[in-house]
């Protein structure tokens, strides 16, 4: 089943190198406009800082969008090392995340090597606080049930490890279920068992869903 890692929660971490302050802000984002919106918001919030360097990674493996910005620091000393930390975190990298490191200059030049270490270390510190969770690609199935049966069937499906993504009401109650492609036969047998063969699911698409935090 295709999976990838993202951050479990938003986080901030501040480090200091030779009186320069480096504040890394991590946020989970779904697309490029949202990532750029985080950068813009922090630029307004910390208007007195000299640099707001950024890096973001979006999407599942093989379909990723990656960007970085040095925001006035010497080329390759800020955004690129930040991006490398995101790519390598936890051995496989994290996605759907933007990292912004805001720097207040402390009066001492750090040199190219010092900047690379400082920006990378700030992102590492924030990632340690953020933790990770795994996202998985699941097949969505819709299951229409009578109101009288919906609560029982939903409870039994949850108890047996089936992800209930949402429910909608109407003439019937419709459960939107998420299962790995190799678990679809098991789902069909469960539904048949729980409804006495009176109901079956229909495929409604695929989506990425959050799994376990670590």
Q: CATH number of the domain that 183 lies in?
A: 3.30.70.240
Question: Are residues 22 and 120 both part of a single domain?
Answer: yes
Distance CA 143, CA 74 (A): 56
Query: Where is the domain boundary, 66, 98, 130?
Result: 130
Please write the tens of the pLDDT for every residue from 145-158: 999 999 999 999 99
Question: Are residues 105 and 9 both part of a single domain?
Answer: yes
Distance CA 131, CA 127 (A): 6
Please write the tens of the pLDDT for every residue from 68-100: 999 999 999 999 999 999 999 999 999 999 999
- The pLDDT, as a whole number, for residue 165 is 92
Rounding to the nearest 10 degrees, give the CA dihedral for residues 85, 135, 4, 22.
0
Residue 22: pLDDT band with limits 50, 70, 90:
very high
Query: Where is the domain boundary, 89, 115, 130?
Result: 130
Residue 61: exposure state from Cβ atoms within 10 A (0-12, 13-18, ≥19): exposed
Question: Are residues 123 and 82 both part of a single domain?
Answer: yes
What's the average model confidence in pLDDT over 103-112?
97
pLDDT at residue 133 tops 70? yes
Please write the tens of the pLDDT for every residue from 161-189: 999 999 998 889 999 999 988 899 999 99
Residue 1: pLDDT band with limits 50, 70, 90:
low
Range of the domain at 209: 137-213
pLDDT at residue 130 tops 60? yes
Question: Are residues 35 and 76 both part of a single domain?
Answer: yes
Average pLDDT score, the chain: 95
Query: Where is the domain boundary, 69, 95, 130?
Result: 130
């Amino acid at each position: 089943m295709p999976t990838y890692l993202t951050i479990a929660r938003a986080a901030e971490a501040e480090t200091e190198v030779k009186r320069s302050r480096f504040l890394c802000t991590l946020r989970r984002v779904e697309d490029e406009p949202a990532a750029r919106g985080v950068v813009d918001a922090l630029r307004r919030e910390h208007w007195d800082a000299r640099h707001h360097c950024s890096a973001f990674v979006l999407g599942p493996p093989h379909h990723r969008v990656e960007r970085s910005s040095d925001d006035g620091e010497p080329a390759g000393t800020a955004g690129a090392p930040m991006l490398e930390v995101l790519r390598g975190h936890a051995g496989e990298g994290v996605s759907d995340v933007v990292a912004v490191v805001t720097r207040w200059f402390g009066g001492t030049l750090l040199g190219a090597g010092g900047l690379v270490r400082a920006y990378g270390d700030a992102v590492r510190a924030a990632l340690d606080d953020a933790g990770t969770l795994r996202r998985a690609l699941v097949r969505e199935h819709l299951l229409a049930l009578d109101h009288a049966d919906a609560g029982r069937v939903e409870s039994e499906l949850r108890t047996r490890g089936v992800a209930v993504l949402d429910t909608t009401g109407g003439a019937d109650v419709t459960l939107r279920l998420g299962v790995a492609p190799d678990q679809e036969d098991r789902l069909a047998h469960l539904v048949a068992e729980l409804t006495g063969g009176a109901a079956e699911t229909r495929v409604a698409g695929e989506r990425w869903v959050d799994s376990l935090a670590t």
